[in-house]
Chains A and B, each alone.
Chain A
Amino acid sequence: MDSTKKHLRSAVLVAGAATLALAMGGCSAGSSGASGGSDQTKNVTINVVLASDPPPKSELAEFTKETGITVKWTNLDWDSLQTKIAAAATAKTYFADATDVDWSRVGQLGKLGWFYPMQKYLKTSSLKADMPQLSSFTVDDKVVGIPYDASFMVTTVNKELFAKAGITTMPTTISDYTKDLQQVKSSGAVQYPLDIPFAAAEGLSTYWYQTTGAFGGTVLDKKGKPQFTSPDSAGYRAAQWMISALKSGLVSPGNINVTDSQGMQTLMAKGNVASVFSDYSGNVGSLYNVPDSSSVVNQVQYIPTPGADGVGPNLSNPDSIGIPVNAKYPKAAAKFISWFTSKDTQVDFAGANGPDKVLSGYALPSRLSAVDVLNSKGTLVGGDVLAKLLKTRAKPVFPEGAPSWYPQFSNSVYTNLHAAAAGNMTVDAAIKAIAQTATQLSSGS
């Protein structure tokens, strides 16, 4: 017995020592991949890792011909990519010269210093006027990524289903919108006219932020304090409106397990609902008007998002591209980013100059000048509405940049709203739980 104990103790000691050695080895080894990459921009190959298909080979070849920089492109799904970014940054090792910077992680990335401030390589101040969503990637005056598309949340309606219910003038306030949805339901045009993705996932959080904006408020203040605890607040009313839409039959009970993209693909694109209050900008052209994936071709349109007292804002959720501090060729990566986000390239990607130059899945250019070109050429579906919204209505979800604790906050938002939708808690209890999380996180506890 004593012998066993002795052996076990020794084993634990050895195991502990082995772990320590491994960790120390991990901390000291491989500093070769650390920051301080080469300034070389000629005859180099850079790795670009994004959650996107690669640009057409001809486009990349043209870039290589112009600059001498060869691009090796890797397409990775968004979740896996975030894991890789975090793992590489934590291990202080190289994995890409340019990669994704998501709007929701700007606070974290800025605080942790995982990405170079883009001011170091590009004149970002000159981009501001043409890229309204640049502010979503600015934290402590550092621009950590340059937006390459202009994803923002926008309301879509199936005008044919609305017309069947006798609605031809689109609503501009939430109360009118709600009445119209009830009218669509009672007309029998569709049983459940509204899509809200109540699955416990990020899409539910962003839907709530957008609805809160439409009700005339914001979720958090500059210091990260919750702004939705009062029953009169926009956030509280937004949550109540969403849950009551489910309870009153405007939203299908099955939506309790529907994510945002599932709802768009299987409900809106199939004519099973008449509206998505918080849809993706670009979905009309890239999803609803594509016959292979849609049965509502030419039936869906963007409308200015109905607000509490008139048209509401459209919150931005764009992706950008930045340079990790462990990049091997940061200057070459900056040249690539400059090309990738240029007006001419964006116009090509969006299909204005023929299908050979299209970047698959590209929604909407991040540059107003590129949107104007598309609009003038008539190649952007719903371009007039989108251009106007991007210029005048698109706003960051968090004007001061997403807080560094955003992932935990978002988790609390979608978990509690999902529970409220499932009937496991009241709206009031859900709001209180979310507020408690925000208060704790913002106070650093």
Chain B
Amino acid sequence: MDRRMHWVRWIGVAFILLWTLIPIYWTLNTSLQTNAQVTAKPAYYVPPTPTLRNFATLLTGNGDVPDSVRQSLVNIIIECAAATIVTVVISTLAAYAFARMRFRGRQLLFYAVLATMAFPAYTTLIPIYKIMTGLGLVNTYTGIVLVYVSGFLPLATWILYNYMSSLPVSIEEAGQVDGASRMQVLWHLVVPLARPGIISTAIITFLFAWGQFLFPLVLSSDISTEPLTVVIASLQGRHVVPFSLMSAAGIIAIAIPAVIAVLLNRYIVNGLLSGSVK
């Protein structure tokens, strides 16, 4: 029975891996071919003469498309990094307050913050767009970062709340006995102890921000703020799709989050599981 279950498990794992990796492999395969090879019949399952020409075109070439891709790569890094930093700072403060401080309406506020996660994000698109227009923040980094922060803050707060709740209170009490203020306790004792949770929150926020499409599409008007995800979509022409170039841009877009996810995988898992086991 155990042996059979063992095989079933591995077949399941293999299926999920194939299901997930084949589209990524096909994108990579396409990105390493010329457009003529991409449209050949039968299709090449492996690049016949692998070329980095598409990547070179996008990363070092001249012209509107390479310029747009490079600028959008800078944009997405700035927007995701800024959103991550702001989210982590605010959620750390909020999570600490919810986990440790006792004040009136604490639980009510906490549940209210969590309840916002239940709203489909897209239902807020039009009101947010209108508010941002009113504030003059459309097509600005600030506008996009603010929207990301508002969207990811509840999850980040929840993850850190769970993490901080699992930390022993006695260390903080000892600090307070020694005369440390709340902020000193937070900065010198809680933050170092919660560092794995903070790192996982930062990674999760960054990855979520990286994958955004609809909000930045609506909130940015030109290449000065458009992230890579939006620019990749705009590479397709009205009647002609540059498959190999789009695939190369797609590989560039997934490279950074993929590296982060692979290298820091244990933090992501720890963050999501924090508080689930005591």
Do the beta carbons of A77 and B218 come within 8 Å of each other?
no
| B125, B128, B234 — most chain A CB neighbours (10 Å) | B234
Report whether B237 and A270 are in contact in the complex, using a CB–CB cutoff of 8 Å.
Answer: no
Q: Is the CB of B111 within 8 A of A8?
A: yes
The verdict on A72 contacting chain B, using a C-beta distance below 8 Å, is yes
B233 touches A87 (CB 8 A): no
Residues of B within 8 A of A262 (CB): 241
- Contact pick for A287, options B41, B116, B239, CB 8 Å: B239
The distance from the CB of A96 to the nearest CB of chain B, in whole angstroms, is 8
Report the Cα distance A363→B240, complex, angstroms: 12
For B112, what are the chain A residues with a Cβ–Cβ distance below 8 Å?
A: 10-11, 14-15, 18
B222: chain A residues at CB < 8 Å are 72, 74
- Say whether B278 faces chain A, with CB atoms less than 8 Å apart: no
- Contact A29 to B131, CB < 8 A, known contacts A87-B126, A270-B41: yes
Contact A32 B221 (CB under 8 A): no
Interface residues in B98-152 (C-beta closer than 8 Å to A): 107-109, 111-112, 114-116, 118-119, 124-131, 133-135, 138
Question: Are the C-beta atoms of B239 and A280 separated by less than 8 Å?
Answer: yes
Chain B contacts of A77 at CB under 8 A?
A: 233-236
Minimum Cβ distance to chain A for residue B240 (Å) = 6
- Please provide the chain A residues from 36 to 77 with a CB less than 8 Å away from any CB of chain B in the complex: 47, 49, 51-54, 72, 74-77
With an 8 Å Cβ cutoff, the count of chain B residues facing the other chain is 44
A residues near B240, Cβ cutoff 8 Å: 261, 265, 286-287, 293, 361
Q: Is the pair A292, B238 in contact by a Cβ cutoff of 8 Å?
A: no
Q: Which residues of chain B are near A92, meaning CB under 8 Å?
A: 130
* Interchain CB contact under 8 A, A75 and B234: yes
Query: Is there a chain B Cβ closer than 8 Å to A381's Cβ?
Result: no
Q: Determine how close the nearest CB of chain B comes to the CB of A51; give it in whole angstroms.
A: 6
* Most A C-beta atoms less than 10 A away, residue of B40, B41, B127, B135: B127
* Contacting residue for A83 out of B35, B111, B217, CB 8 A: B217
Per a CB cutoff under 8 Å, which of A11, A23, A361 touches B238? Answer: A361
CB neighbours of B41 from chain A (8 A): 266-267, 270, 272
Q: Check if B18 is an interface residue, CB within 8 A of chain A.
A: no
Tell me whether A26 and B127 are in contact (CB under 8 A): yes
Establish whether residues B130 and A261, one from each chain, have CB atoms under 8 Å apart when the complex forms. Answer: no
CA distance A416 to B213 in the complex (A): 29
Contacts of B217 in A (CB 8 A): 80, 83-84
Contact at A10–B111, with CB atoms within 8 Å?
yes
Cβ A26 vs Cβ B111 within 8 A: no
Binary contact readout B20-58 vs A (1 if CB under 8 angstroms, 0 otherwise):
000000000000000110011100000000000000000
CA distance A93 to B237 in the complex (A): 27
Flag A79-110 by CB within 8 Å of B: 1 or 0 each: 11001100110111111000000000000000
A33 within 8 A of B: yes
Within 8 A of B (CB), among A260-297: 261-262, 264-267, 269-270, 272, 280, 283, 286-287, 292-293
Are A91 and B235 interface neighbours, CB within 8 A? no
Residue of A nearest to B112 (CB): A14
Interface of chain B: mostly helix, strand, loop or mixed: helix
A100–B124 Cα distance when bound, in Å, is 25
Q: How far is the CB of A112 from chain B (nearest CB, A)?
A: 14
**Out of B39, B111, B233, B234, which one reaches A265, CB within 8 Å?**
B39
Are B127 and A22 touching (Cβ within 8 A)? Answer: yes
CB A387 to nearest CB in B, in angstroms, measures 20
A7 contacts partner chain B, Cβ-Cβ < 8 Å: yes
User: Once the chains bind, are A88 and B40 in contact (CB under 8 Å)?
Assistant: no
Q: Are B39 and A15 closer than 8 Å at their CB atoms? A: no
Residues of A within 8 A of B130 (CB): 25-27, 29-30, 91-93
B134-182 at interface with A (beta carbon < 8 Å) = 134-135, 138
The chain A residue sitting closest to B127, CB to CB, is: A26
B2 within 8 A of A: no
Check B238 against A14 for contact (C-beta < 8 Å). no
Supply 21 A–B pairs (Cβ within 8 Å), ascending by A.
A10-B108, A14-B109, A25-B131, A30-B130, A30-B134, A47-B221, A53-B64, A80-B234, A83-B214, A87-B129, A88-B218, A91-B130, A91-B133, A94-B133, A265-B241, A269-B39, A270-B40, A283-B239, A292-B36, A293-B36, A361-B239
- Give 4 A-B pairs besides A11-B108, A74-B223, A262-B241 with Cβ atoms closer than 8 angstroms: A11-B115, A27-B130, A283-B239, A292-B36
List the interface of chain B (C-beta within 8 A of A).
Answer: 35-36, 39-41, 64, 107-109, 111-112, 114-116, 118-119, 124-131, 133-135, 138, 214, 217-218, 221-223, 230, 233-241
The 8 A-B pairs with the shortest beta carbon distances in the complex, nearest first, are A26-B127, A30-B134, A11-B111, A29-B134, A15-B115, A93-B133, A14-B112, A91-B130
